[in-house]
Amino acid sequence: MTKPIPIVPPETLGLTRLENGLRVIVEPMPHVHSASVGIWITSGSRQEDAGREGAAHLWEHMAFKGTPRRSALELAMALDRLGGLSNAFTGREETCFHARVVDSGLHEAFDILSDMVVNPLLDETELELEKNVILQEIAAVEETPEEFVFEHFWQAVWRDPAVAHPILGTEESVRGFTIEGMRSWREQWHRPERIIVSAAGAVDPAAFTRAAARLFERLESGPKTPQPTPPLFTPRSSAIERDVEQSHVILAFPSVGLTHDSRYTVACLSALLGGQMSSRLFQEVREKRGLAYTISTSPHCLTDCGLLEVYAAASPDRTGELLDVLRHELRDVAEGGITEEEVSRAKDHLGGLVLLGAESTEERMLRQARNVALHGRPVSVEEAAGRIAAVSLDDVREAAASLSRLDEAALFVLGPRIDPSWAKTFDTAFDTP
């Protein structure tokens, strides 16, 4: 008999706003002996002006390069000595520094992460070294088809440059960054009202909140920054010919953002279409026809906009057949072919992922930071699971109807040779991105 996952009652999810506007969210998990802590900043590549592409990501790297209290090596040694895991990431709308440690190391990990965020040295020599590291990172993306195709597809379909440009920046923008530019970026976007400190696991909410108030008391709130306007999506068919082994195909339809009420419906549609092993595309494309090893669908969303993306990698000789299958399956789904059993299976799959995530201190910490950033409040496991369970067959069919509107879709192909007839499968023609 399996043990039930201990679920934290919603009323124990404590959200506190400090005097300077910084928010603290704590989710205790009494059954564990570890904890995760994260510093979530609600700014990423979308906040970058022209010429500053890559600033958020470069600043993330520079935060590890030392503080007045700790050198870069001492930061690395201190984090390693805690015996856990630490990392950081930059997205289009967020930057996050996080660590997972045994419970006895939580407050030291929090002290280290906050020191990096609040007191970075921003040394000129370290900046030049890290710019070179990021230039190598950009080169690696260009040489990795699975990453290259998504990066260039995203640039092709969004008209807003702030949304479209690469998170890593460009060679030109990265080479142009200065210490003064890094300081200016931090002062503008790393205000306390844009910071959410999140912890989950073996953590005392009151003690953790007091520590947050002490560690971030130096930060002062600033003028309110304007909200970005929703970007415009461009339906188009684009192709890039390159010396790669396979054709990498992305087919995408405009969808909802992360704050939209129907996001759970779109997640169910994505799961039954190509998000699980029993899904339509996995079975038809891979299991029955052997057209591709990689076939998947996923929502790719920001706060106020999103795409439902289908991705596959296939032999160039069979790319036309792959696209025919995609067209057929999408038409069937759009015309009401979805069954109650498919929706039920997708809901069970997604609900299971929510519960599996509930066992992880890191997953809970990141989930609640994201919830506070998007919705202004924590969202309990019960609420998330309940929203998934409430999705109906009619909801999914209504969302799927948009998949018949091929004039609103975008197709992108990267491959060793491009056949113009591939675009005709979707009643369009290739242009150049």
Per-residue confidence (pLDDT) for residue 223, from 0 to 100: 84
> What pLDDT is stored for residue 344 in this prediction?
98
Other Cβ atoms closer than 10 A to 202: 19
Structural domain including 179 reads 10-215
Whether residue 432 is contained in a domain is answered as: no
Q: Is the pLDDT of residue 1 over 90?
A: no
- The pLDDT of 180-205, averaged and rounded, is 96
Q: 350 and 393: one domain?
A: yes
Domain identity same for 169 and 44: yes
Mark whether 188 and 279 lie in a shared domain: no
Query: Both 257 and 174 in a single domain?
Result: no
Task: Please give the Cα distance from 280 to 272 (Å, whole number).
Answer: 6
Catalytic residues: 60
**Does a structural domain hold residue 159?**
yes
How many structural domains comprise the chain? 2
369 and 271 in one domain? yes
Q: Is residue 379 part of a domain?
A: yes
Instruction: Convert the pLDDT of each residue in 332-373 to its tens digit.
Output: 999 999 999 999 999 999 999 999 999 999 999 999 999 999
- Evaluate whether residue 373 is within a structural domain: yes
Q: pLDDT per residue over 26-39, tens digit each? A: 999 999 999 999 99
Considering the chain, what percentage of its residues have pLDDT values greater than 90?
Answer: 91
Confidence at 6, pLDDT banded by 50, 70, 90? very low
For residue 234, the tally of other CB atoms under 10 A from its CB is 13
pLDDT of residue 2: 29
Same domain? 176 vs 289: no
Please tell me whether residues 148 and 261 are part of one structural domain. no
Q: Report the SS3 class of residue 139.
A: helix
Query: Could you read off the pLDDT of 111-126 as tens digits, one per residue?
Result: 999 999 999 999 999 9
292-301 and 95-102 as β-strands: parallel, antiparallel, unpaired? unpaired
- Answer yes or no: are the C-beta atoms of 13 and 24 closer than 8 Å: no
| Confidence bin at 322 (pLDDT 50/70/90) | very high
Residue 158 confidence (pLDDT) above 80: yes
Domain membership of residue 411 (yes or no) is yes
Among 54-68, 194-208, 217-231, 313-327, the range scoring the smallest mean pLDDT is 217-231
Tell me if 430 is assigned to some domain: no
Q: Is the pLDDT of residue 303 over 50?
A: yes
Please tell me whether residues 131 and 164 are part of one structural domain: yes
Tokens of 296: 């998947």
Residue 3 clears pLDDT 80, i.e. is over it: no
Residues 405, 274, single domain; the answer is yes
Q: What is the pLDDT of residue 14?
A: 81
Q: Does 196 share its domain with 245?
A: no
404 shares a domain with 303? yes
C-alpha–C-alpha distance, residues 102 and 340, integer Å = 44
Tokens of 425: 């499968």
The pLDDT value recorded for residue 226 is: 83
Alpha carbon distance 203, 35 (integer Å)? 7
DSSP string computed for 133-144:
HHHHHHHHHHT-
Vertex 246 angle, CA 244 and 247, to 5°: 105
The enclosing domain of 283 has a CATH number of: 3.30.830.10
Using the 3D structure, point to which of 146, 181, 215 is the last residue of a domain: 215
Residue that finishes a domain, picked among 181, 215, 249 = 215
Is 429 inside any structural domain? no
Angle, alpha carbons 264-265-268 (nearest 5°)? 90
Listed in sequence order, the DSSP H helices in 312-390 are 319-334, 340-357, 361-375, 381-389
Q: Would you give the end-to-end CA distance of the chain in angstroms? A: 55
Whether the predicted pLDDT of 406 surpasses 90: no
Can you say how many angstroms the Cα of residue 159 is from the centroid of all Cα atoms in its chain?
20
Can you tell me the mean pLDDT for 16-21?
95
pLDDT for 328 equals: 95
Q: Confidence band (pLDDT; 50, 70, 90) for 7?
A: very low
Pair 182, 131: CB distance under 8 Å: no
- pTM score of the predicted model: 0.93
In the predicted model, what is the mean pLDDT of residues 43-57?
Answer: 96
> Residues 394-420: what's their mean pLDDT?
94
Mark whether 344 and 241 lie in a shared domain.
yes
Domain final position from 183, 215, 247 = 215
Q: Is 376 left (phi over 0), alpha (psi -120 to 50) or beta?
A: left
- Amino acid letter for position 74: E
**pLDDT for residue 76 is more than 80:** yes
Query: How high does pLDDT run on average in the chain?
Result: 94
Q: Residue range 242-254: average pLDDT?
A: 97
4 domain-assigned? no
Using alpha carbons only, give the angle 354, 356, 361 rounded to the nearest 5 degrees: 95
Question: Coil, strand, or helix at residue 48?
Answer: coil
Split at pLDDT 50, 70, 90, the class of 432 is: low
When pLDDT is averaged across residues 71-79 and rounded to a whole number, the result is 94
